[in-house]
Amino acid sequence: MTVVKRCEKEVEGSWTEKQRQAAQWLEFFVPHYRGLCVSGDGCPAKHAASDQARPAGGEEKRFIDGEDLQDEEKIAALEELIERMKADVSMFIHGHHTCWVESSHNERAVYTSKRVEM
């Protein structure tokens, strides 16, 4: 969802350009959660210098491990999902939003009779 919102707000240009950028950013999804991407490589995540470090007073950040059998299943499932998302990126990045639709309905409802169920 973060990729969708960031593309809509941050990417300049047409919806096609926003969709192209979203598909490109989705390429970083699995490597990011495996701990393989770094700041400046094009990953849309906002990396900090301490991303690989242990959080204050907590456990070490756990990344998906490509060597772990359970994690291999997760990686395969994630990669399949990401491929479907890239194929159908226009279903996620588009100009139609619930807030805008509800707002336009509200603007029209001002001029309609309240005694009639629409």
pLDDT for 35 equals 84
pLDDT digits (tens, 9 = 90+) for 3-15: 777 877 888 888 8
Q: What is the mean pLDDT of residues 88-115?
A: 75
pLDDT for 43 equals 82
Report CA-CA distances (Å) from 15 to 12, 20, 78, 112: 9, 9, 25, 33
- Would 46 be classed as within a structural domain? yes
Answer for the pair 85, 92: CB distance below 8 angstroms, yes or no.
yes
pLDDT for 5 equals 76
- Would 114 be classed as within a structural domain? no
- Would 57 be classed as within a structural domain? yes
Boundaries of domain holding 25? 2-109
Average pLDDT, the chain: 78
pLDDT digits (tens, 9 = 90+) for 8-39: 788 888 888 989 888 888 888 888 888 888 77
